[in-house]
Amino acid sequence: MSQIRPIIKKVVNPFELVKIIKLQRNRKKVERVRDDAQLKLYSQILKGDFLHYGYFDDPTIQPEDISLNDIYRAQHRYAELLVEKIKNSDGQVLDIGCGMGGLLKLLQDKNLKAVALTPDNTQIHYISGKYPDIQNYHCKFEDIPLAENLNRFGTLITSESLQYLDLDRSLPLLHKISKPNATWIACDYFRIGDGAEKSGHYWNSFLEKLKTHGWELKFEQDITPNILPTIAYVHLWGHNIGLPLFQFALEKLEVKQPGIYYAIKNIFPFIKQKIDKNLITVNPQIFAENKKYKLMVFEKIAV
């Protein structure tokens, strides 16, 4: 009973109840990018400082045969593919949505002049400490100071960050901050179907917007098969381990703490619904039916 009292006190106390209601109502107003707990979790699990899906040279590898070291190697391989596409080795490279700085390290190792940008608090704190000699911007790309960056960058990179950009604002901005004949390297997934999971831009509408914003597609590779092993690996762990552990925890709570279980049991279906939704997101078959993952290189043209 002692464990239940704090819960009851908060519910019956009108001041606490008002606070609970306000927090719940305002949950959607909190800017996800400012301190993303999900990305922080990924960075703690994946120690290579990369937050993307990686690239498997062997797309037929089965999730049961994948280790965390395989994931690390795939993520490093993905970053290598991006660096290989850089044409101007003398110009500055802007890593838009730099995450935990994995790509920054590769750029630095290649003696390329990197500049980092991220709106996330955790990420900016980490890369500022790890790469004190690399200039960084702590903001959304759309808010990058324009005056000091006009015609500055020879290479722009959006590595699984394009999906978060407002295209109507970002495409003209990419053009303004880049040098003549600059290269924009983009690697991300796009929506091609009408699945329930809404992340990513629609592929066809993205291509249409490009036509009027001064970027010409010079290289395109569909790497969907090469990123699917990571998705299959995550789905395997979630479905075969995560769900059974969740059910086990509920059953243990019901036996060991029946009062607490009774008090909060109505939230369990919502948690289960959230888990099921996330598993759909990382279902490789559903992903491949509704999305395509593209590696692309664009060149700046006059508008």
Residue 211 in any domain: the answer is: yes
**Does a structural domain hold residue 80?**
yes
- On whether residue 257 sits in a domain, the answer given is no
For residue range 7-61, what is the model confidence (pLDDT) as tens digits? 445 444 545 444 544 555 555 554 545 444 444 444 455 566 788 999 999 999 9
pLDDT number for residue 273:
87
Whole-number pLDDT of residue 253: 87
Domain assignment present for residue 273? The answer is no
* The pLDDT of residue 60: 97
The token pair at 23 is 């927090």
Residue 214's alpha-carbon distances to 146, 170, 181, 188, 303, in angstroms, are 17, 12, 11, 20, 5
Least-confidence region, from 44-48, 72-76, 168-172, 243-247 = 44-48
pLDDT at 11: 43
Cα–Cα distance for residue pair 189/278, rounded to 1 Å: 17
In this predicted structure, the answer to whether residue 167 has a pLDDT above a threshold of 50 is yes
DSSP state at residue 110: T
What pTM value is reported for the model? 0.82
Residue 276 lies in a domain: no
Whether pLDDT at 156 is above 50 = yes
Structure confidence by residue, pLDDT tens digits, 96-123:
999 999 999 999 999 999 999 999 999 9
CB count in 10 Å sphere of residue 146: 10
| pLDDT at position 25 | 59
DSSP 242-298: IHHHHHHHHHHHHHH-HHHHHHHGGGHHHHHHHHHHHHHHT-HHHHHHHEEEEEEEE
pLDDT band at 260 (very low <50, low <70, confident <90, very high): confident
Residue 267 within any structural domain of the chain: no
Parent domain of 134: 63-224+290-300
Structurally, how many domains does the chain consist of? Answer: 1
In a domain, 113, yes or no: yes
Q: Per the domain annotation, does 266 fall within a domain? A: no
Which CATH number is 136's domain given? 3.40.50.150
d(CA 145, CA 139): 9
* Dihedral pair phi/psi, residue 75, rounded to 5°: -70, -40
